[in-house]
Amino acid sequence: MALTRDDLKNLVMTYKKSLDAQKKKIFVCAGTGCVAVGSLHIYDEFIRLMKEKEISCEVKLEREPHDDSVGIKKSGCHGFCEMGPMVRIEPEGWMYIKVTPKDCAEIIEKSVAANQFIERLGYQKEGQVYPTQEEIPFYKHQTRLVLEHCGRMDATSIGEYLALGGYAAFEKALFDMSPDEVVAEIVASNLRGRGGGGFLAGRKWTQVRQQKEPIKYIVCNGDEGDPGAFMDGSIMEGDPHRMLEGMMIASIACGASEGYIYVRAEYPLSVSRLGMAISQARECGLLGKNILGSGHDFDIKICKGAGAFVCGEGSALTASIEGKRGMPRVKPPRTVEHGLFGKPTVLNNVETFANVPLIIQNGAKWYKSIGPEKSPGTKTFALTGNIGNTGLIEVPMGMTLRQVIFDIGGGISGGADFKAVQIGGPSGGCLTKDQLDLPLDFDSLKKAGAMIGSGGLVVMDENTCMVEVARFFMNFTKNESCGKCVPCREGTKRMLEILERIVAGQGEIEDLDMMLDLADTIKATALCGLGKTATSPVVGTIKNFRQEYEAHILEKRCPANVCQKLKRITIDKELCHGCSKCANSCPVGAITGKIKEPFVIDIEK
């Protein structure tokens, strides 16, 4: 147990020695995605084989360094989810993809014992093999700062986090800086909340610091409910200490002695890793009373969500922690004055807190040198949908969509054309081909009628029906509306009804104006952010894909051929042998053609 600053320094030294003694390290991805495709079996197989071959291996970082052993670690998400399960070998930085337990023996034999790269397990594209992670195009264009440890550290070990320089920023803030200096550094960094709105974190912290109330709270919003977004989950699983460290620094800055993490129940792995991290931090004296003899008290509790999207909203989230229905309330007063249990509360999301140690460690000036000045730093995105490289990425703010989708994401999967990208979840918008060169930052997206939101990027190809996508999001918000205010409860329901009519081929052209009218009203009158932005996907798709709506309404046709009720039957020319069976049985004689040549259907008949 570390009790003083010096004790902590010694602890860091011993862990560092221990880690350095591991000449080889095997990182098996243990993120939600890779676990789903069996990565834990690979981990077990490695340990079994090492024991069988009597190779000295360590699964835990010991305080007593062992010479020349192999470290086997369950790491956080490597990010390149499409290629999972993934195994990284250090110090070489080799990355093996789609590994199965059968490959483990060969990896030990060649890569661990003989320092050889196994070509067949490496990432290959167009005949070229990319041995190291850094060379793979998916990683090459990224700047991984918040995610630097994800995939390169045992996510369950505080020892490794300490050995890699973790908690140094906390130590600095605790002993070498005054709370005012900490707040000033965050203000100077222009760090903007990564949860969606992009509100300046420094301003929030200043406001809470100024409150006279003696009890204050630090709350971390880990209720990442946006469908298609999993960045925060990956940070909580892959580098839980980084986020805790951010919260601890906030507690010094604002004078809070209690913190809460609100995590959605759909992330069981995050809940367990955070729980582990908190008890490890307590054991090392980093959480609790009189931390490292500084006189500062701070402890953190975890609250598991119970499945309500609206609880991502500040006032609903605090209500839920208090054991109430998670319904938003009228603001002001805002959370900074009247938050959890009525006390001033700093409420930031996971990624925002994870940025804090970097800023304290390297300074605001360094932070502002990354990305545009008004939206500095990096942003993590969950790249999903019809894209070649699905995964978790981190890029400097201001990178263009084109770079993200084509350079990092490898373009559209399956050879179809790019159609749109949905950004910012149910509150965001769709961006089209014309907007591919738009820089991704808070301000330019806002101008384009979209938002970064929590950072889900769902790429859609030409086989996606935009009207159906709008219906999908409206269905989601209708289901998730808490029901407290009429505009949201009734408005989303009526809009969904109209959209359902349109996809069923019963829409009328007046519906479009009606929906835009409704959207205006809901936006102007809804109580909380969920309601105010609920109509964004509809407004965005009407604006950018009006012709698709019109095709559904006027021509009773779904251009992407998705909507069931408007589906048209076609004959696949590649598969048709020209047997005439279909033509003979068609009651209206709509199918014609020559024997042994592909037949065609005349839809008009």
Partner 1 sequence: MDDKLNFQELDEILEKYRYDSTQIIPILQDTQAKYRYLPKEAFTYLSEKLGMTVAKIYSVATFYENFSLQPKGKYVIRSCDGTACHVRKSLPILERMRSELGLSATKVTTDDLMFTVETVSCFGACGFGPVITVNDEVYPTMTPEKASELLVKLRGEF
Give the interface with partner 1 as residue ranges (CB under 8 A). Answer: 32-33, 35-37, 81-82, 84, 224-230, 233-234, 265-268, 303-309, 320-327, 382, 384-386, 390-391, 422, 425, 456, 458, 460, 464, 469, 472-473, 476, 480, 482
Q: Residue 234: phi, psi to the nearest 5?
A: -65, -35
CA-based max dimension of the chain: 90
Residue 174 vs 271, nearer CB to partner 1: 271
In the complex, the smallest distance separating the C-beta of residue 447 from partner 1, rounded to whole angstroms, is 23
Residue 413 vs 580, nearer CB to partner 1: 413
| Distances 15 to 245, 282, 535 between C-alpha atoms, Å | 18, 17, 52
Residue 1 vs 569, nearer CB to partner 1: 569
In the complex, the smallest distance separating the C-beta of residue 230 from partner 1, rounded to whole angstroms, is 3
Give the burial string for 258-274 (b: 16+ CB within 10 Å, else e). Answer: bbbbbbbeebebbbebb
DSSP string, 80-141: -GGG-S-EEEETTTEEE-S--GGGHHHIIIIIIIS----GGGSEEETTEEE-BGGGSHHHHT
Instruction: Give the C-alpha separation, 3 to 326, whole Å.
Output: 39
In the complex, the smallest distance separating the C-beta of residue 388 from partner 1, rounded to whole angstroms, is 12
Residue 166 vs 228, nearer CB to partner 1: 228
Instruction: Give the C-alpha separation, 414 to 426, whole Å.
Output: 26
Residue 97 vs 591, nearer CB to partner 1: 97
In the complex, the smallest distance separating the C-beta of residue 180 from partner 1, rounded to whole angstroms, is 33
In the complex, the smallest distance separating the C-beta of residue 323 from partner 1, rounded to whole angstroms, is 4
Residue 171 vs 394, nearer CB to partner 1: 394
In the complex, the smallest distance separating the C-beta of residue 373 from partner 1, rounded to whole angstroms, is 32
Q: Residue 503: phi, psi to the nearest 5?
A: -70, -20
In the complex, the smallest distance separating the C-beta of residue 39 from partner 1, rounded to whole angstroms, is 11
Residue 229 vs 538, nearer CB to partner 1: 229
Query: For every residue of 196-258, which 3-state class applies, written as one string?
Result: CCCCEHHHHHHHHHHCCCCCCEEEEEECCCCCCCCHHHHHHHHCHHHHHHHHHHHHHHHCCCE
Residue 112 vs 538, nearer CB to partner 1: 538
Query: Is the separation of the CB atoms in 391 and 80 below 8 Å?
Result: yes
In the complex, the smallest distance separating the C-beta of residue 215 from partner 1, rounded to whole angstroms, is 15
Q: Is 230 exposed, middle or buried (0-12, 13-18, 19+ CB in 10 A)?
A: buried
